[in-house]
Structures are given as C-alpha cells and as structure tokens.
C-alpha cells in the first residue's frame, strides 16, 4: 500500500520549513510508530527510516526498512519513494493545508501509524534574508 506523508505546522516568522537538505535527502531520518496489522500492537519506540538504507527482500525487492513485530514476529517492509515532497510554505501553513513530505510504500504486517518530527529540519525566516534557522531537538 502506498500513501503520502503530509505535514503542517504553526509557522511564526518562518517562510519555509523542510528537511535540512530537502525532502529527498538520502540521510534525513524519518521517525514512525509502527503497528502490526495482525495483532494490532504499536511499537513503543519510534522506528528510524532513511533513503540511504537499503534492505533486499527474499524476492529481490529493495526496501528501506524490514521490521518484525515483537509480539507475533510477523514481518513488514517499508520503502520511501522520493520525488513527491516539497517545503512547507507560510501561506500553506496559514491556510491549515498539508504539504506532501514523502511517499511511503509498505508491505507485510507492519504499517506506519504516526510520524514524529526529529532532528535535521531547516526553517527560513520571513524577516531576515539569508538567515537560516536550524531547528535543534533535544
């Protein structure tokens, strides 16, 4: 199944918000809670997925993540598909609309159910040209 991750935010004095090197940055970390579609258990910790990480399945398919459910041991696969994301713009955020960030395909028994903002985001200020704010998460 494929779906598109969309983001929105309350932006104050920020013109754009995006991953540090753009939406298709191969080293940007996407964080998800995963849920087993068989036993319905949700992971307690976020799962990190990057475009740069490649895992080959038994049939030759390439994914960015393979994960087993810790309860029932069923396996799932997740693939990030670049080329669909763009920066969140102030006008889009003010209209409470979502901006596409990344296309995801998943197969098997583990599905992403929640996206978490992690480190590595870039915000460009409205007031100061050339000023870039790096968002730091602790």
Per-residue pLDDT, averaged over 72-81, amounts to 95
Closest to 33 measured CA to CA, from 42, 23, 24: 42
25 burial class (0-12, 13-18, 19+ CB within 10 angstroms)?
A: middle
- Alpha helices (runs of H) in the chain, residue ranges in sequence order: 90-94
The pLDDT value given to residue 138: 42
- What is the rounded distance in angstroms from the CA atom of residue 69 to the CA atom of residue 36? 6
User: Average pLDDT in the 83-104 region?
Assistant: 95
CA dihedral over 133, 80, 67, 62, signed as positive or negative: negative
Total-model pTM: 0.84
Parse the chain into domains and list their residue ranges.
2-128
- Give the Å distances, CA to CA, from 35 to 1, 104, 111, 113: 14, 15, 5, 6
Q: Residue 128: its pLDDT value, please?
A: 65
- Alpha-carbon distance 27 to 10, whole Å? 26
> What is the tens place of the pLDDT at every residue in 9-61?
988 889 999 999 999 999 999 999 999 999 999 999 999 999 999 999 888 88
Euclidean distance between CA atoms 113 and 44, whole angstroms: 12
Cβ burial of 56 (10 Å; 0-12, 13-18, 19+) is: exposed
């Amino acid at each position: 199944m494929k779906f598109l991750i969309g983001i929105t935010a309350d932006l104050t004095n920020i013109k754009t918000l995006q991953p540090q090197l753009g939406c298709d940055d191969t080293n940007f970390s996407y964080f998800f809670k995963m849920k087993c579609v068989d036993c319905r258990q949700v992971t307690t910790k976020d799962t990190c997925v990057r475009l740069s990480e490649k895992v080959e399945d038994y049939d030759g398919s390439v994914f960015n993540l393979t994960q087993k459910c810790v309860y029932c041991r069923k396996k799932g696969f997740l693939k990030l598909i670049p080329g669909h994301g763009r920066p969140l713009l102030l006008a889009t955020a003010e209209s409470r609309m979502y901006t596409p960030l990344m296309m995801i395909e998943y197969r098997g028994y583990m599905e992403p159910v929640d996206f978490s903002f992690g480190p590595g985001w870039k915000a460009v200020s409205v007031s100061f040209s050339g000023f870039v704010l790096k968002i730091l998460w602790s």
